[in-house]
Structure 1
Amino acid sequence: MRRRYLLALYVLAGCASPANKALLPTPTVTPPPPAVAPAPAPAPQPVIPPVVSGDQVFDAWAAEFYGRATKAGVSRSVLDRELKGLTPDPRVGNLDSRQPEFSKPISEYLKGVVTGGRVSMGLQRRSEPYFDRIEQRYGVPREILMGVWALESGYGAIQGDYDVIRSLATLAAQGRRRSWAEGELIAVLKIIESGEHARSRLRGSWAGAMGQTQFIPTTFASTAVDHDGDGKRDIWASPADALASAANLLSKAGWVRGQSWAREVTVPAGFDWSLTEGPRETPGWWADRGVTRADRLPWADTDLSAKAQLVAPTGARGPVFLLFPNHFAIRRYNNSIAYALGVGLLADRIGGQGDLVKPWPAETPLSLADRMTAQRALAALGFDPGAPDGVVGMGTRTALRNWQKARGLVADGYLSPEMVQRLKTEAQAAGAAS
């Protein structure tokens, strides 16, 4: 009976009207909490370099460099510390922009390089104990290394005392060599960040070359070695490290063990001077054209198969050389015929060789105006020397040789005052006739 009563109540509840349903208790539903929007990411803080020198050009460059340096892997803390308070060095700016009014003749340069004092000092230092191991490892003779050492720093005595960071920053801000200078500056900052050397150690020339063998920072990073085994590559205080590093550079540049760097030669009457700075051929090939060693000695076996280039640095009146591949390895250190001749000739003297058979002639310095006049005249006459910048480089010498040969002159590519005047006169006549 009770079951039937309860069942009837359930049926009545199911048939109740909507109004009655409203009176029934309803379950309490707790609404979900409103969604909380994520906090906005903090706005990136602007990179504000600590360089406020008062020089607008320098400060604008520094602001841009900051981003490039961090992208290259230099930490913000190192940048903040090393660039704080940095100012341009006016001495560096003046040296970089200064174009010499007169070009020093190569004979005068070499007379100032290959001196009795440097030869004497080299003879005193050539028995240093570290040379044996350096020669054995890298194959570069000690005399060549002493030539580099003498030219770069006076055997370590004159290394330069410029702050390398400030010098490179000044060069970069000026813009003429910005890409190069910034690359070197980043390399310096990474040396500091690595802990290998503090900034106080990184002193050098106004152009950023450092130590007894004057390495630029990227070359230091890739080529310097710790030869004395003290755990640091110290090209400032350790001659062993500096000279082994120079030997490593020359070895990487292709130095050929046991081969000459150059030899003075003589040429016959009527020689085709247009061959200078041209083909690289064996001594036998040159002998077929009448070229022989000036000292009349036979060629060493190591030189017989080497390809050599003939040069006449002061024209047909001066000494002539065959340059072997090792000469061009020296020019990887400094890409200048005069520099490489200076290193090699000084090395020969330290090694016991005498003076050149043919002496250097007296030369007349050419003004910047003369050099640029010659370049413009060559261009006007159809012999392109490149930009008229007053630098008598390979382009100018080649154009001059071609003009000389076309005019039936001795085509030695030597720009003398006489050649300047002839070029100027011919170009003026050609301009008047056109």
Structure 2
Amino acid sequence: MLAFAFLLIVIFGFILTTPTHAAPIDDQFQAWLQTDLWPEAKSKGISKKTFDAAFLGVKPNLKLPDLVMPGEKPTTPQKQHQAEFGPPADYFAEKIIRAVTSGGRSREGANARVLGLIEKRYGVPGEIVLAIWGRETGFGAAKMPYDAFEVLGTDAFMSTKKDFFRTEVLAALEIVERGLAPVNAMKSSWAGALGQPQFMPTSFLKHAVDFDGDGRPDIWNSTPDVLASIANYLVHYGWVRGRGWGTEVTVPANVSCSLEGPDQGKKISDWVAMGIRRVDGKAFAASELKAEGFLLMPAGRSGPAFVVTPNFYVIKQYNNSDLYGLFIGHAADRIAKGDTTFVGTWGAVGDLHRSDIAALQRALEAKGYDVGSADGLPGFKTRRSIGIWQAKNGKPATCFPDAGLVAQLK
């Protein structure tokens, strides 16, 4: 009897100490679908037939990044999940960018008529559109391995950005409800992006266009629709017809790297007056000298520098990463003019964990600096805050986080 009583105590103790979410997470997800998501979907005109077909057999995918188990608090992940957040030199590896540029050139001729019509209508150069197409899905060759409703449903249920993904999963249901795509075509990336342009569902509904004239926008199979939808997306976010994205420059040592950012624009003539020059030795066009430009130093003093136009920040609307925007602009230049590399070289930076950078950001915030967000991602506000802190403390301004700086500020 004593042994039996002891066994009951052990079992009862195990039940009390086992996380409550471990076994019933699938049940919690199904309950959330029916009692939380379905009522809102119904109110937005989604039929029960569409809803049930979309989530038939769907369970939460616990391998997706940035999830928060029910009852737990979110934490900054230690590792990066996207290439844009790693070392810049890796992001611009020649084999990666050459695949986009060579593929873009080979498709430029085959799609010349369509690209010409797109540029005439939208004002976006074909090379930019091709570079995005190539970067996103390898010109449509990349396979989308995920069920969009599994990804979007999981993230709406338990990610760190539940509200964002709730909007997206409702938009995905609308796509199916309106007959724009069947449920079995709704395959996505791990982030829930759809089709060859990798549009989130809300972006599909806003920006996808029927350019081939068959009556519906098809970003899965129609090359004209894919290319025109990318251009339409960029125009929506303010693409300026007739301007490029930017150019590589040299920045004198007496010009602070903390001057970068889209909120610190100057006339390009003012940057020139400060000693900034194009690396190719050419002068800026007279029309450009009167226009606004922005300093971009995505690796601080440990990498190439650029003067970019507002169009660079339009490209970033596609993927909010300076490295992504730079990759697209650089790849477009290479598609148009041939393969050339940056003159400046990338230093050995960018290999810190997100959690380390987040700790550095919180330390800077505590000192009154605006880092944008303590999210572990070294955006321009973090970079220039580092540069300002370094200068104030008598250190060379590098404007990029490194292990020594993390140790000093943590």
Deviations 1:334-368 (A, max 9, x none): 11101100111111111115222222233361134
Instruction: Give the counterpart letter for 2:401 in structure 1.
Output: L
Instruction: Give the aligned partner of residue 285 of structure 1.
Output: 270
The answer to whether the Cα contact below 8 Å between 2:384 and 2:399 also exists between their aligned partners in 1 is yes
Shift of 1:54: 6.9
Residues 188, 395 of structure 1: alpha-carbon distance in 2 compared, 3 angstrom cutoff: same
Shift of 1:198: 0.8
Mapping for residues 15-414 of structure 1, pairs under 5 Å:
55-62=26-33, 63-91=35-63, 93-94=64-65, 99=77, 101=79, 104-111=86-93, 115-127=97-109, 128=111, 129-277=113-261, 279-352=264-337, 354-363=340-349, 365-383=351-369, 385=371, 388-414=374-400
Q: Distance between the aligned counterparts of 2:244 and 2:25, measured in 1? A: 54
Residues 419, 85 of structure 1: alpha-carbon distance in 2 compared, 3 angstrom cutoff: closer
Unmatched runs of 5 consecutive residues or more in structure 2: 1-23, 69-75
The answer to whether the Cα contact below 8 Å between 2:218 and 2:226 also exists between their aligned partners in 1 is yes
Unmatched runs of 5 consecutive residues or more in structure 1: 1-52, 425-434
Taking structure 1 as the reference length, the TM-score comes to: 0.79
The answer to whether the Cα contact below 8 Å between 1:276 and 1:412 also exists between their aligned partners in 2 is no
Shift of 1:380: 4.8
Residues 382, 54 of structure 1: alpha-carbon distance in 2 compared, 3 angstrom cutoff: closer
Q: Distance between the aligned counterparts of 2:26 and 2:213, measured in 1? A: 44
Residues 330, 302 of structure 1: alpha-carbon distance in 2 compared, 3 angstrom cutoff: farther
The answer to whether the Cα contact below 8 Å between 2:260 and 2:384 also exists between their aligned partners in 1 is no
Q: Which structure has more RCO (C-alpha within 8 Å, separation ≥ 6)?
A: 2
CA-based RMSD? 2.4
Instruction: Give the counterpart letter for 1:375 in structure 2.
Output: Q
Q: Distance between the aligned counterparts of 2:88 and 2:98, measured in 1? A: 18
Instruction: Give the counterpart letter for 1:99 in structure 2.
Output: P
Instruction: Give the counterpart letter for 1:253 in structure 2.
Output: Y
Residues 399, 249 of structure 1: alpha-carbon distance in 2 compared, 3 angstrom cutoff: same
SS in 2 for 1:115: helix
The answer to whether the Cα contact below 8 Å between 2:78 and 2:355 also exists between their aligned partners in 1 is no
Shift of 1:146: 1.3
The answer to whether the Cα contact below 8 Å between 2:149 and 2:169 also exists between their aligned partners in 1 is yes
The answer to whether the Cα contact below 8 Å between 1:378 and 1:423 also exists between their aligned partners in 2 is yes
Shift of 1:113: 7.3
Shift of 1:101: 2.8
Taking structure 2 as the reference length, the TM-score comes to: 0.83
Residues 100, 108 of structure 1: alpha-carbon distance in 2 compared, 3 angstrom cutoff: farther
Shift of 1:94: 4.7
Residues 207, 228 of structure 1: alpha-carbon distance in 2 compared, 3 angstrom cutoff: same
**Percent identity for Structure 1 against Structure 2:** 37
SS in 1 for 2:93: helix
